[in-house]
Structure 1
Amino acid sequence: MITIKEPAKKSMYENVMEQFNKTADIINLNPDIRKILSITNNEIIIHFPVKMDNGKVEVFTGYRVQHNNALGPYKGGLRFHPTMDVDDAKALAMWMTWKTSLAGLPYGGAKGGIQIDPRNYSLSELERITRRFTYALGENIGPELDIPAPDVNTNEQTMAWIADTYMSTKSPSERSNNKHVVTGKPVGSGGLEGRDRATGFGVYLTLKLFFENKKESLSGKKFIVQGFGNVGYWVSYFLEQEGALLLAVQDAHATIINDEGISVHDLYEHSKPRKGSIQGFSSAKEMDPKDFFGLDCDFIIPAALGNQITGANAYDIKAKVIAEGANGPTDNEGERILLENGVTIIPDILCNSGGVIGSYFEWLQNRNGELWPLDEVMAKIEKKLTESYKKVQNTVNTSHVDWRTAAYILAISRIETAYVQRGIFP
């Protein structure tokens, strides 16, 4: 088995703090606000027991880190992964604060999850683990306080279990008013039409807008994707519709390539019954995973875990555009090398923000008791993301900075404005 590892050189938290401090210096951030934003508001660590199918009890560790809520309730995903720890949650929560601010949403940032490999547990065990975690979190989450969503190895079913468990702790008259405690639910349980594809659509849309600005089409462009989960599949789907060619895919099990192009539909149908694994796909050949990022293509979409593009492999990259479908897939050393080599990095807090924008519309839909059709939802997401994209592009052009720095300038400045206008209690 091939494992996509996160190098131990620098943690995601160290990377996000470097990015924050760099931007704070550029915009001369108010020193008091800098102190506030450099730390988290709350870090919740929970150890909870769950009875397994064999009758034995296992104790799990869960996390919820709430970074900042100056602009509104905490918002961010829950991931089930063996590498999950409090430092990862802190980094991801801080990125969510910047992401929701950049998107112009009335949210702050949070992140969390459980340190677990879900492949080692049955569906009934995962349900009990999820429900027990939700119960243990208690009043630390809520529809106007902290609103979780799906992330790595969690999905709409996970969110349905969380919503049901949370609502069951409320009185009968309150239950219907708490459905929006999570987003990313199944459509039949209050979910949003199109939420499944919102993140992947956002990655596709930012690429489309980027090349349109260069007077280029996506048709005929070659791309590679790391990770073929929800984000990797949907961005590939939309790009294929535009005539782009999927050259290679890498996941935790295999790295595959076909110089003539890989059918997104066929690969999805192959991976679906294999718990998402692309291994054994007959219409592509396996290749050395170390050579993946060095493939000759037009753009790369890292849509798996953090710290995948590093100083160790950035020199190999031939693509001129990186579209960050994952959170924090490029470490700071890797980014420095890429920028020196003229590579454009469309940063995660812009590129994959279609998901949280979709979550916002689901939250509004539940809050207002409305139901929106798919075409209306996708139009709303496209409009809001396009507005964010144009603001970042304008900052790139006027401030002569890279795309990540431009996105951070806009995101952090909006939060600074909120603090300056409100003042700091007491």
Structure 2
Amino acid sequence: MVKTKETKPKTMYDNVMQQFNSVADRIALNPNIRKILGITNNEIVIHFPVRMDNGNVEVFTGYRVQHNNALGPYKGGLRYHPTVDVEAAKALAIWMTWKTSLAGLPYGGAKGGIQIDPRDYSIGELERITRRFTYALGDNIGPEHDIPAPDVNTNAQTMAWIADTYMSTKAPSERSKNLHVVTGKPVGTGGLEGRDRATGYGVYLTTKLYLESKGESYNGKTITVQGFGNVGYWAAKFAVADGAKLIAVQDAHATLYDEKGIDVEELHQHSKPRKGSIKGYEKATEIDPSSFFGLTCDILIPAALGNQLTEETAGAVKAKLVAEGANGPTTDAGERILLANGVTIIPDILCNSGGVIGSYFEWLQNRNGELWQLDEVMQKLERKLTEVFKKVEEEVNTNKVDWRTAAYTIAIKRIEMAYTQRGIFP
């Protein structure tokens, strides 16, 4: 039989809808609730002008998609990337709904960003772009309505600009009450100690918990990491500190390999002045990017962008465990190949949920006027992540399903219960 090429999913949105419909069928999701969850609540597209350093004006396009808020305010990141469009934002917003539900948080899901490559702009231009985007969004965001956070190519500084701009639009007596309009802020301006490492720590911890469930540990395990931004760096740092060996790293500019191990901190220091690029690091060999997924290793951590493990690339994977640090790195066809080859996938909505859990802690801290210390934050994070992991593990073992199906089942059932108990207006 001739194997035909995959025609779907073509986009991350196709992928997330395939995942949703598969689990909805399996759990016989209420058809009315299925209709609601199958669409987004709001899709906001904004065109706004910004003056550049040279005096010229450029018009940018920004997006904010709000999928569902049955469990609480919309929550999700803002990314600055050329691939940002309404379809990508829809997919990422839906994944956020499942992620916050699975984690047991009082949030719904949203996502958005601006269609730019931030490397093309100065710091001053990025600040003006961010502030103008925030002003254009207006009351489409808010501390009890929709709470953005950092994502690809955005950071604590971006969030500080958003918070300051948003608060400046409020009456002086109301400004301090709106600090939690975003999370992921710098520690000095209301941010949470440890928020920078929360997502990467979650990738590390869920992987560790999986290994322990098999009577294993990180000690002696080899790992490869795609993407060496905030998530990839911290996941690798924690894993190596626990006995693993980082043998390969890939980003958009280079693919590095060293079977003896790559020094995580040295590579991080190398990349910082190069806007995050790992290219030019001389203590590892630069190899062909197409060979990355086929490298022999124990654990593969895709922590870059979506749709990386596809029908074309998944068959090469030699790792027996894939820990999804990115959102949607595995397509539906890619997943079928991996599972057929005996590869376990810790799904994104579980694996990288440390970030949104950390965001929840920051939101609470701001809301209640509290200050939490780093050790307290990390203890709370470990406790919460472990609790969520155990729930998914129980679903896997009880119903003999893969980890993504288990995670989706728990997440969607929680939202279904909220609609069932409260009813649908009117």
**What's the TM-score, normalizing by structure 1?**
0.98
State the AA in 2 paired with 1:350. L
Would you say how many aligned residue pairs link Structure 1 and Structure 2? Answer: 420
Spell out, residue by residue over 1:214-250, the C-alpha distance to the aligned partner (whole angstroms, 9 max, x if none). 1111111000000000000000000011010000000
Spell out, residue by residue over 1:146-170, the C-alpha distance to the aligned partner (whole angstroms, 9 max, x if none). 0000000000000000000000000
Partner of 1:34: 34
Per the TM alignment, residue 19 of structure 1 is displaced from its structure 2 partner at its CA by 0.3
Unaligned runs of 5+ in 1: 1-6
Partner of 1:396: 396
State the AA in 2 paired with 1:371. L
Aligned-residue CA RMSD (Å):
0.8
SS in 2 for 1:391: helix
State the AA in 1 paired with 2:327. N
Spell out, residue by residue over 1:171-220, the C-alpha distance to the aligned partner (whole angstroms, 9 max, x if none). 01000000000000000000000000000000000011000011111111
- Aligned: 1:335 with 2:335: yes
State the AA in 2 paired with 1:243. G
Partner of 2:88: 88
Distance 1:230 1:289 in 2: 21
**What's the TM-score, normalizing by structure 2?**
0.98
Partner of 1:266: 266
Distance 1:10 1:390 in 2: 33
Distance 2:386 2:94 in 1: 23
Structure 2 matches for 1:280-359, cutoff 5 A?
280-359=280-359
Partner of 2:141: 141
Spell out, residue by residue over 1:51-106, the C-alpha distance to the aligned partner (whole angstroms, 9 max, x if none). 00000000000000000000000000000001100000000000000000000000
State the AA in 2 paired with 1:363. W
Contact kept, 8 Å, 2:71 with 2:415, in 1: the verdict is yes
SS in 2 for 1:92: helix
Distance 2:17 2:99 in 1: 15
Distance 1:10 1:103 in 2: 28
State the AA in 1 paired with 2:406. A
Partner of 2:191: 191
Unaligned runs of 5+ in 2: 1-6
Contact kept, 8 Å, 2:9 with 2:332, in 1: the verdict is no
Structure 2 matches for 1:150-299, cutoff 5 A?
150-299=150-299
SS in 2 for 1:64: strand
State the AA in 1 paired with 2:140. N
Spell out, residue by residue over 1:314-356, the C-alpha distance to the aligned partner (whole angstroms, 9 max, x if none). 1111100000000000000000000011100000000000000
Distance 1:338 1:10 in 2: 18
Distance 2:344 2:219 in 1: 19
Contact kept, 8 Å, 2:103 with 2:388, in 1: the verdict is yes
Partner of 1:383: 383
State the AA in 2 paired with 1:309. L
Spell out, residue by residue over 1:255-296, the C-alpha distance to the aligned partner (whole angstroms, 9 max, x if none). 000010000011011111111110010110100100100000
Per the TM alignment, residue 10 of structure 1 is displaced from its structure 2 partner at its CA by 1.3
State the AA in 2 paired with 1:124. G
State the AA in 2 paired with 1:31. P
Partner of 2:19: 19
CA 1:8–1:154: 2 relative to 1, 3 Å: farther
Spell out, residue by residue over 1:348-380, the C-alpha distance to the aligned partner (whole angstroms, 9 max, x if none). 000000000000000000000000000000001
Distance 2:9 2:338 in 1: 18
Distance 2:381 2:216 in 1: 23
Contact kept, 8 Å, 2:141 with 2:147, in 1: the verdict is yes
Partner of 1:422: 422
Per the TM alignment, residue 37 of structure 1 is displaced from its structure 2 partner at its CA by 0.1
Per the TM alignment, residue 17 of structure 1 is displaced from its structure 2 partner at its CA by 0.2
SS in 2 for 1:72: coil
Distance 1:395 1:8 in 2: 28
State the AA in 2 paired with 1:285. T
State the AA in 1 paired with 2:228. F
Per the TM alignment, residue 8 of structure 1 is displaced from its structure 2 partner at its CA by 9.2
Distance 2:314 2:190 in 1: 43
Distance 1:52 1:279 in 2: 29
Q: Segments of 4+ in structure 1 off by > 2 A?
A: none
SS in 2 for 1:335: helix
Per the TM alignment, residue 9 of structure 1 is displaced from its structure 2 partner at its CA by 5.9
Contact kept, 8 Å, 2:8 with 2:14, in 1: the verdict is no
State the AA in 1 paired with 2:78. L
